[in-house]
């Protein structure tokens, strides 16, 4: 690194990265988006542990400013009282990744944190150029955070409507 800090990569991660870099064929960043997405899905299947046991996994859609947005709710204690939740936006540089590529991680987070996890999918670039994906999510949250009839208008109320 050029700023004088020492970069550290765990040995197991370094070995996996070396394995990926040694593979023949084009690198993910050299592929068209659809092929890169498929490569990322395959890497997730190869590298991630299975989802494991979790009491509740529920796929839903919520209305967004430009159409429905897919979400997935994970909870190891369904029926719990309202409380904190983790809202998760998958990785992938706004181009790759989806609810399935981060499924095992979200389930594990719900188990270890003992709280519901709401994974939110978003529209990917280049079909929906950045920052369109984040703008749409921000608009959704802003719209839900404004007072509505029959609601206290808070973000907490919006999230509680999803989970409980």
pLDDT over threshold 60, residue 145: no
Residues 13-46: tens digit of each pLDDT:
899 889 888 989 998 899 999 999 999 999 888 8
- Please give the average per-residue pLDDT across 115-143, as a whole number: 77
12 within a domain of the structure (yes/no): no
Determine what percent of the chain is predicted with pLDDT higher than 90. 37
Q: Is residue 68 part of a domain?
A: yes
pLDDT digits (tens, 9 = 90+) for 86-108: 888 888 888 899 999 999 999 99
Respond yes or no on whether the N-terminal peptide bond of residue 30 is cis (omega within 30° of 0).
Answer: no
Whether residue 29 lies inside any domain: the answer is no
Domain of residue 100, residue span:
56-163
* CATH number of the domain that residue 111 is part of: 3.40.50.1820
Residue 163 has pLDDT above 60, yes or no: no
Domain count within the chain: 1
| Full-model pTM | 0.77
Classify residue 121: in a domain, yes or no: yes
- Residue pair 17/9 in contact (Cβ under 8 Å)? The answer is yes
Within a domain: residue 82?
yes
Task: Please give the full DSSP string across 45-114, using - where no structure is assigned.
Answer: HHHSPP----SEEEEEEEEETTEEEEEEEEESSTTPPS---EEEE--STTTS--TTTTHHHHHHHHHHHT
Residue 132 counted as domain residue: yes
The confidence score (pLDDT) of residue 79 equals 86
Mean pLDDT of the chain: 82
Residue 45 lies in a domain: no
- Determine the pLDDT at residue 158: 56
């Amino acid at each position: 690194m050029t700023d004088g800090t020492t970069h550290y990569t765990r040995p197991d991660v370094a070995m996996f990265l070396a394995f990926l870099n040694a593979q023949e064929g084009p690198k993910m960043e050299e592929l068209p988006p659809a092929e890169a997405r498929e490569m990322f899905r395959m890497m997730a299947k190869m590298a991630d542990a299975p989802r494991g046991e979790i009491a509740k996994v529920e796929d839903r859609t919520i209305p967004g400013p430009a159409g429905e947005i897919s979400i997935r709710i994970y909870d190891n204690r369904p029926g719990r009282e309202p409380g904190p939740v983790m809202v998760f936006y998958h990785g992938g540089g706004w181009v790759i990744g989806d609810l399935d590529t981060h499924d095992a991680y979200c389930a594990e987070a719900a188990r270890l944190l003992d709280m519901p996890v709401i994974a939110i999918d978003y529209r990917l670039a280049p079909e929906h150029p950045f920052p369109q994906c984040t703008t749409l999510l921000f608009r959704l949250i802003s719209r839900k955070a404004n007072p509505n009839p029959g609601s206290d208008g808070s973000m907490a109320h919006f999230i509680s409507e999803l989970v409980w």
